[in-house]
Structure 1
Amino acid sequence: MAFQSYSYVFKYIIVGDSAVGKSCLLLQFTDKRFKSTHDLTIGVEFGSRTVEVGDKSVKLQIWDTAGQESFRSITRSYYRGSIGALLVYDITQRQSFENLQKWMEEMKENAHSRMTIILVGNKTDLESERQVSYEEGQAFAKDNGLVFFETSAKCAYNVDKAFLSVTKDIYFNLERGEYDIHKESIGIKPGNTIPTSISTGLSNGKTKKKKKNCC
Structure 2
Amino acid sequence: MAGYRAEDEYDYLFKLVLIGDSGVGKSNLLSRFTKNEFNLESKSTIGVEFATRSLNIDGKVIKAQIWDTAGQESRFEIELNHLFHRYRAITSAYYRGAVGALLVYDVTRRPTFENALRWLKELRDHTDPNIVVMLIGNKSDLRHLISVSTEDGKDLAERESLYFMETSALEATNVDNAFTEVLAQIHQIVSRKAVELTDEAAASSIPSKGETINVKDDTSSWKRFGCCSS
Task: With the length of structure 2 as denominator, give the TM-score of the two structures.
Answer: 0.75
- Between the aligned partners of 1:158 and 1:179, the Cα distance in structure 2 is 31
**Match for residue 182 of structure 2?**
166
- Between the aligned partners of 2:114 and 2:173, the Cα distance in structure 1 is 23
- Between the aligned partners of 1:22 and 1:72, the Cα distance in structure 2 is 20
Q: Does 1:8 align with 2:24?
A: no
Gaps of 5+ in 1: 181-215
**Match for residue 52 of structure 1?**
56
**Bigger radius of gyration, 1 or 2?**
2
**Aligned to 2:134, which of 85, 106, 118?**
118
Shift of 1:33: 1.2
Contact 1:173 1:179 in 2 (8 A): no
| Percent identical residues | 44
**Aligned to 1:131, which of 147, 152, 173?**
147
**Aligned to 1:93, which of 73, 98, 109?**
109
Greater fraction helix? 2
Contact 1:16 1:100 in 2 (8 A): yes
**Match for residue 147 of structure 1?**
163
Secondary structure at the aligned position of 1:34 is classed as: coil
CA RMSD across the alignment:
1.8
After TM superposition, the runs of 4+ consecutive aligned structure 1 residues lying more than 4 A away are: none
Secondary structure at the aligned position of 1:140 is classed as: helix
Shift of 1:78: 1.3
Contact 1:80 1:112 in 2 (8 A): no
Paired residues, number? 180
- Between the aligned partners of 2:142 and 2:159, the Cα distance in structure 1 is 26
1:14/1:119 CA distance change after superposition, 3 Å: same
**Match for residue 43 of structure 2?**
39
Q: Which has the higher contact order (CA 8 A, sep 6+)?
A: 1
Shift of 1:3: 2.0
- Between the aligned partners of 2:53 and 2:10, the Cα distance in structure 1 is 11
**Match for residue 103 of structure 1?**
119
Greater fraction strand? 1
